[in-house]
Structure 1
Amino acid sequence: MSPMQPSDFERHGFAAGMREGFVAFLPVSVGLIPWALVVGMAMTSAGFTPLQAMGMNIIVFAGTAQLGTLPLIVDNAPLWLIVTTGLALNLRFLIFSAGIAPGFRGIGTGWRWLCGHLLTDGSFAVCYDKLMQVDNPRWRLGFYLVTGVWTWLLWQTFTLAGIFAAGIVPKSWSLEFMATIALIVLLVPMAKARPMLVAAIVGGGSAVLLRSMPLRLGVVTAICLGIAAGFAAEHWQEKKTA
């Protein structure tokens, strides 16, 4: 058996994983900036103080759930509905975490808890293939962790900027549209997997068809239908290949 070459050490070290993860994730992370600005401005427009807005931003750390529950909070909707909506909007992370879990083989429980908190759409899209391909757990941890920490820092920084820029940035800049484009960029690579594509089509179509439901329950229902369709497609795919 030949000795390990220096290039092998570099590739499989924690620091090397962080370097490669940062380079891979950097183009995707640019899309977080308008999204975070929109969330910050939306929370301010909803009447949140800067302290309340940043408190929600740190605790929830989920832009879709934050924006999805803001109208309910403003309308003084029941607490159970606000919580249920936030949980429903984040149900996709059950699929993400189940899918990416094998990539954390050999990594301690404490690190897994931290990585779970840092899991985002972008981290899943960028890290999934690499975490399945590389054996060394230190390299995998470094690759994933840098994407999560960088996302957290960008999110907190530019949400704070959005909070204080709410009365300054012109509405004609259409940052909401830019944020939507950023989400689509994340969706495209994930939709290459058939279950993800089925979930996106069913969930998106249902959201349009059910948009007239009261208390925005159409969105919650659409999310549940999309997730159910994704699980069904995955089960059918596994059964077909067995």
Structure 2
Amino acid sequence: MGNWDHLVGASWRGECWAGARAELPLLLGVLPFGLVYGVLGLQAGLPGWAVVLMSSIVFGGSSQVVFAQLWGAGVPAPVIVGTVGVVNLRHALYSASVAQLLAELPLRWKLLLAYLLTDEAYMAAVGRLTSGPRSAVRHWFLFGTGFTLWAGWQLSTLGGVLLGATIPAGWALDFSIALTFIALLVPSLRRRSECVAAAVAGAVALLAQGVPYKLWILLAALAGMLAGMLAQALQRGKSHE
């Protein structure tokens, strides 16, 4: 947990800037990811404007990469929508964990913060929201983390699109995306259930490579979530014995 003493009595500007500063170190991993996504989007056959627009509308790094890969493989639209939806289900968990803390906000704020609530923004803000000093403007901290990430993602996507025009189409960058995911995932695995979910998802992804329409992505995501939920339920059962 961070030291939030400097935020006692902070203004909305102080909260916002504190959130932005908390998010900045995480951009070191996000910016290269955005560059690679921009390049992959072009290689998948998407026009540059669509690649950039998707970063503003969807604003979900992993789901955007999955969309680009499935689009490039000619996968049917219902499969693409279903797979992207499953990949983004984790955002509902983030929302549930902070919903009560932000329940008094007006609807316009809830919609805005829901849009900005991503993995990295949540990681940077959850400590402030759950254990920091109570403040009527602490939602500005989450806004600061979310907006900083949003701006970095837009710029890195645009950079990837501009860079992609100079990279030969024969260069396969899919593997670099896998390495980026692993680099972001491994440091965040702390609980046994999380390790189980990651291991099962990885195993299913390898075993299901021959499934058509790249459905191995959907199968791996579902298997990982189910395994994680089961492991968590078993762990809770043992703690109550």
Q: Under TM normalisation by the shorter chain, which class is it?
A: 0.7 to 0.9
| Corresponding residue of 1:8 | 8
Distance in 2, matches of 1:139 and 1:158, equals 30
Instruction: Mark the CA change 1:97 to 1:227 in structure 2 (over 3 Å): closer, same or farther.
Output: farther
| Corresponding residue of 1:208 | 206
Give the superposition deviation at 1:176: 6.2
> Are 2:109 and 1:108 equivalent residues in the alignment?
no
| Corresponding residue of 1:25 | 23
Percent identity for Structure 1 against Structure 2: 30
* Residues 125 and 189, structure 1, Cα contact 8 Å, conserved in 2: no
Give the superposition deviation at 1:132: 1.1
> Are 2:200 and 1:198 equivalent residues in the alignment?
no
- 1:149-172 deviation line (CA, Å, top 9, x unaligned): 11111111111111111132589x
Distance in 1, matches of 2:117 and 2:234, equals 27
* Residues 103 and 128, structure 1, Cα contact 8 Å, conserved in 2: no
* Residues 117 and 146, structure 2, Cα contact 8 Å, conserved in 1: yes
* Residues 28 and 186, structure 1, Cα contact 8 Å, conserved in 2: no
| TM-score under structure 2 length normalisation | 0.83
Distance in 1, matches of 2:148 and 2:235, equals 35
Runs of at least 5 residues in structure 2 that lack an aligned partner in the other structure: none
Name the SS for the 1:30 alignment partner. Answer: helix
* Residues 199 and 227, structure 1, Cα contact 8 Å, conserved in 2: yes
- 1:188-213 deviation line (CA, Å, top 9, x unaligned): 45322343333222222222222222
Distance in 2, matches of 1:185 and 1:85, equals 22
Q: Which of 133, 143, 146 does residue 145 from structure 1 map onto?
A: 143
Instruction: Mark the CA change 1:234 to 1:107 in structure 2 (over 3 Å): closer, same or farther.
Output: farther
| Corresponding residue of 1:74 | 72
* Residues 18 and 139, structure 1, Cα contact 8 Å, conserved in 2: no
Give the superposition deviation at 1:239: 4.2
Name the SS for the 2:215 alignment partner. Answer: helix
Alignment of 1:111-126 (within 5 A): 111-126=109-124
Give the superposition deviation at 1:98: 2.4
Which amino acid is the alignment partner of residue 9 of structure 1? Answer: G
Give the superposition deviation at 1:53: 1.9
Aligned length in residues: 236
C-alpha RMSD of matched pairs (Å): 2.9
Which amino acid is the alignment partner of residue 8 of structure 1? Answer: V
Distance in 1, matches of 2:193 and 2:96, equals 13
Instruction: Mark the CA change 1:213 to 1:32 in structure 2 (over 3 Å): closer, same or farther.
Output: same
More off after superposition, 151-160 vs 87-96: 87-96
Instruction: Mark the CA change 1:126 to 1:196 in structure 2 (over 3 Å): closer, same or farther.
Output: farther
